[in-house]
Structure 1
């Protein structure tokens, strides 16, 4: 089985969503106009927008770039604003930043409102913007198994023909724990930031209920080029980790939260970026 790291699909986004006005791009894009630079978001900005997302209707704010933390690969859970319909397009975590102009609950679901300058509004689920936490393995930890899986409305299912865990659409949260090649050991070398300072993992602590009846946490599996692919660990295995300050290059740092014993305060690697 070959597990392909998730890549930032800028060309695909441009081709599929150019008319919809969605803005999702990599943080290392060349600056072209300093006068249009917008701020990138820290934890307080995420918290503010999450509160707004719980209110009925849309509350509009000044534009700001938010990094999405969608807890899955190749997720297609994204909607046009008017008319309200799902866009058949991928969204991945990591260096994909969206130009967010507001948030609110419509159609019974909490969304962030995404819009390019002069483009149409699109809706991204608010749960895709839950900031992860910083962890490292604790001393004398037992091995932790990680699993490949697919969120509902994702093109990340197992393809029997190619033997890949990408390319097949899944309707429900699916974990491949029953497949021999659907799980492996979680390691720093393959999944964490294992060089330089602030080594460790970015792990989401919002439990995801999978089709095998168990709950899992997403691990944002790091690669040296800054892209992320998501694997999953059983929620009980978080006991094998300890909170830690962790830096993912070209993404940002999870710092210790004031007054708390965890690392959840996100600082993006650049404060302002022109996309």
Structure 2
């Protein structure tokens, strides 16, 4: 090599350059995601660049994550359950009483919003989840051979809720709203008992139960931030505990659930042939 000839990078270092560039790109993507979705840039610098455990920033991030969990629970928790019933063509193991209580609990915020003339966008997501739960209730009764009864039940329930939203006294509507969380907890108790009695969880969706559990954890965080150690916070903690019990039941009874499904399949086929 002549003295004027330029010397390139060492071959042993050539593999490091793309690796460094890739790592830098990944870090940039992570930073953009965190700053855009979970925290302001100031918090990112405090936590990741200076290594400072900034309590207000940590609270801000925790609230953002909790809010994300609550949104997932509100919008998506019922969807996997509905799709599973439609896909499997069965609603075995699902408690009618549990779903009916869910329907009531989801109706309470809608009735309250309509009674107080809230704008539609403020409670539209509740109406979406309510319609999914109503469909689940109808499918359960349909698969139990009570299609007409299920349809009449939904019509009567919808009519009663409409009358309450339009005609009930403010005190009655407020009492319904206050009973919302108690109905949610009672719903989970009924499903837990049904699972225990059956020895399996049937068509109960693992993803739906998981989303409900994470949503209840988010509600605990928000409730503690807003009101501290209140009765409402205790109810949210109870709700989260019941959701976790349901999640354990689903995860621990996979073999018995599969065995029950295998036993039920020939029976269902024979019933169809008889019809």
Normalising by structure 1, we get a TM-score of 0.22
- Give the number of the structure whose residues are more often strand, by fraction: 1
Identify, as 1 or 2, the structure richer in helix.
Answer: 2
